[in-house]
Amino acid sequence: MKIALACDWLTTPGGAEKVLLKLHQMYPDAPIYTSQYDKKGINWFDDADVRTGWLQIFPSNLRKFLGPLRQLYFSHLDLSAYDVVISVTGAEAKSIRTHAKSPARSFFSRRSRKHGFEPPKKPGVKSKSCTLSSHYSTHSQKSQEEKSQSSQSSAFHLCYCHVPTQYYWQFYDQYMTNPGFGILNPLVKLCFWLLVKPLRQLDFQAASQVDQFVTISHYAKDLIQEYYQRSAVVVAPPVDLQTFSKVQFRASSSGSQLKTQQESQHEAQQDLHASDPKKQQGKRQGFIISCRQVTWKRVDLAILACLEAGVPLRVVGDGPEHQRLQQLAAGSHLITFYKWVDSQTLAHLLQTSAAYIFPSLEPFGIAAVEALAAGCPVLAYAGGGSRDFVVPHQNGLLFSEQSVASLVAAIQEFDPAKFSTSVIQRSAKNFSESVFEAKIQDLVSQAMQETFSCS
């Protein structure tokens, strides 16, 4: 069985890269096709066969500029010689060609017309179903010659799609408000406004060619149905529960206002001996948030809410918003910044915090589930995929609005004495790496059965 993997880019660590890493571990001989690969930015795939193309000539920090070029690159990337191709994508990698003899579709759903383009109408043409057999029932309508060609040069495309391409669809208005290019924003807005209609067409067309959509939460499943008119199977991303459920260290000092990575890890690792989990729970205090510091993660909301509530907050991570977040904290003793730390150090910080704050609108939250594995309750914004892993009053609380007032109310309602560490950790079991692996292997096996039965 010949399997290939594909992803949008490999330039920095993140949730999508964790999914891809697990797939690489499951299928170590499968090459990984991507638009750009920065070995210095992410060192997780040193033993992998990572294959890039002409987009590799661009610096990885120009990634935000390259959406249209990525679409062009992937739409000409022919992987039809494989049996199964698994793409991990929230952007353009879904555009890969897995049916070399099949022309691209040119019709679009009624839903897509609401977003600024009018697709050509073709009587009798229906949007493709998500079921594993649907691709082959479509092929059964071809001529005998086309069937022969398809069986000889066709791969099954299993698309693990986090969410439809957000800057084309769900977050288009927010992106147009602030594309994030600084002084180039006016130019970027104009170019994107001119290009978004054909880019939406191409994105929708790419989605219509996928054989099986898999996604990370029921929230993301609804978005795929809304924007692509496709159903999807929900398989939560893999979380390293073992690392975060182990008691890593005894509690240590709270640290200074700003730490380098080395200082943060040195402080957290002052005592490497395991301690009694029950005693560890008694030492939990303050709140924590860990993520890449970009605007949509809403770390600013966590800082402002904790300042207003008068409670301590650990802020773990780095990113373009880091300096602004420091300014928001205004040197308060309540806010402690940590640069990126390793998994064991993060586990220790989670195990000594009263609760994890998850204020962003996301299709899932691997970092939040890691907190649950550490026995740390989660205070999450009720939008997005948080309802898939937060059960109110059992392993956390939900707040209804992305506002300081709503989060402050949740902080004030939160009582750590009402939560059980063991119950919280058990709630994370369904998101383990082994569960992910079993579900993906089952989908790949079904795909192969369908492929061989139709060949």
Q: How confident is the model at residue 152 (pLDDT cuts 50, 70, 90)?
A: low
Q: How confident is the model at residue 453 (pLDDT cuts 50, 70, 90)?
A: low
Highest mean pLDDT among 63-67, 94-98, 146-150, 164-168: 94-98
Q: How confident is the model at residue 132 (pLDDT cuts 50, 70, 90)?
A: very low
Categorise residue 262: left if φ over 0, alpha if ψ from -120 to 50, beta otherwise.
Answer: alpha
pLDDT of residue 39 exceeding 50, the answer is yes
Give which of 27, 23, 28 is closest to 7, Cα–Cα: 23
pTM value surpassing 0.75: yes
CATH class of 3-238+434-454: alpha beta
Considering the chain, what percentage of its residues have pLDDT values greater than 70? 79
| Strand order across the beta sheet in which 156-161 lies | 50-51, 32-33, 3-7, 84-89, 156-161, 212-215, 233-234
The answer to whether 359 and 295 are in contact (CB under 8 A) is: no
Domains of the chain by residue range: 3-238+434-454, 241-431
pLDDT of residue 110 exceeding 60, the answer is no
Distances (CA, A) of 387 to 96, 179, 382, 384: 32, 28, 7, 7
Q: How confident is the model at residue 253 (pLDDT cuts 50, 70, 90)?
A: very low
Query: Average model confidence (pLDDT) for the chain?
Result: 82
Q: Which CATH topology does 241-431 take? A: Rossmann fold (3.40.50)
Q: What is the pLDDT of residues 303-326, one digit of tens each?
A: 999 999 999 999 999 888 899 999
